Amino acid sequence: MRIPRLPALIASLISVVSLAGFAATSADPALVSAVASPARSPTAVARDPARHPVEELTFFGLKPTMTVVELWPGGGYWTDILAPYLAKSGHYYMALPPAGNAEEDAGMKRFRARIESEKDRLGTLHETTLGAGHFDIAPPGSADLVLTFRNFHNWMDGGYADQALAAAFKALKPGGILGIEDHRGRNDQPQDPKAKSGYVRQDYTIERVKKAGFEFVAASEVNANPRDTKDWVDGVWTLPPTLSQGDKDRARYIAVGESDNYVLEFRKPK
């Protein structure tokens, strides 16, 4: 591998640091307010120092008038921020996994019950489906921004990562943005095509998304964690918030914190 010349390397590092600083200093007050909402659960708020929601969403260029699609919102960490923020002037689509897995179905049932109970705060939520055989995540060419947080490895394991990327490309307007966050794999090891450990190499992700037709725009180090050595007994799930080993070495894993994550921005060509 060719090592970049020092000036180019320094320029690259300055660019990454500048992006993070820009996000922190130029955040929309309405977004800051949405993150600071007392309606958010204490469990979610406790994860903010690891997930940096204001900085990350600012990096992706989120605006209150946008049509935004979130792929696989999980327990709703980001829904609780995005939906109220977009409720007045934008549109929020959430593409959920298809039914079929008992554990996931139970989770979706709890998620739907919760958002129904908070519909006055969250506004109108447009539900679609993303999974094997289900890729109509929003009307074609309607979205300004498609976001996915720590899901790409799951689609690799399921064998439909390319179809998921194609769905995002189809849903986006020309010039629209795809934002991807996931657990960053080690560069000194080949990428497992199934990503069984939960980790995905950043360079692998960039190349795969570019093959789907996107232009790579920028990377942010806002969710980097150098304490994550990525060699855990149960992959990324060894670390918080899952802590798959229970009480065994719990203090050690909590001290490491949540995984090292890349944050990548791509654009659908105009």
Q: What is the pTM of this model?
A: 0.89
Report the distance separating Cα 143 and Cα 172, nearest Å.
4
Report the distance separating Cα 263 and Cα 221, nearest Å.
7
Report the distance separating Cα 153 and Cα 105, nearest Å.
20
Which contacts of 22-28 are long-range, i.e. CB under 8 A and separated by 24 or more positions? Answer: 22/58, 23/54, 23/55, 23/56, 23/58, 23/59, 23/220, 23/222, 24/54, 24/55, 24/58, 26/58, 27/54, 27/55, 27/58, 28/58, 28/62, 28/63, 28/64
pLDDT digits (tens, 9 = 90+) for 227-257: 999 999 999 999 999 999 999 999 999 999 9
pLDDT digits (tens, 9 = 90+) for 43-70: 999 999 999 999 999 999 999 999 999 9
pLDDT digits (tens, 9 = 90+) for 129-146: 999 999 999 999 999 999
Residues 65, 90: contact at Cβ < 8 Å?
yes
Whole-number pLDDT of residue 195 = 98
Whole-number pLDDT of residue 218 = 98
Q: Can the peptide bond before residue 241 be classed as cis, meaning omega within 30 degrees of 0?
A: yes
Whole-number pLDDT of residue 51 = 98
Separation of CA 2 from chain center: 30
Report the distance separating Cα 235 and Cα 217, nearest Å.
29
Whole-number pLDDT of residue 213 = 98
Taking 60 as the threshold, does the pLDDT of residue 1 lie above it?
Answer: no
Alpha helices in the chain (DSSP H): 6-25, 29-35, 42-46, 48-51, 53-59, 79-86, 102-117, 119-122, 152-158, 161-171, 202-211, 250-256
Closest by CA position to 89, among listed 144, 51, 155: 144
> Residue range 177-183: average pLDDT?
98
Q: How confident is the model at residue 100 (pLDDT cuts 50, 70, 90)?
A: confident
Q: How many CB atoms lie within 10 A of CB 56?
A: 22
Report the distance separating Cα 63 and Cα 145, nearest Å.
9
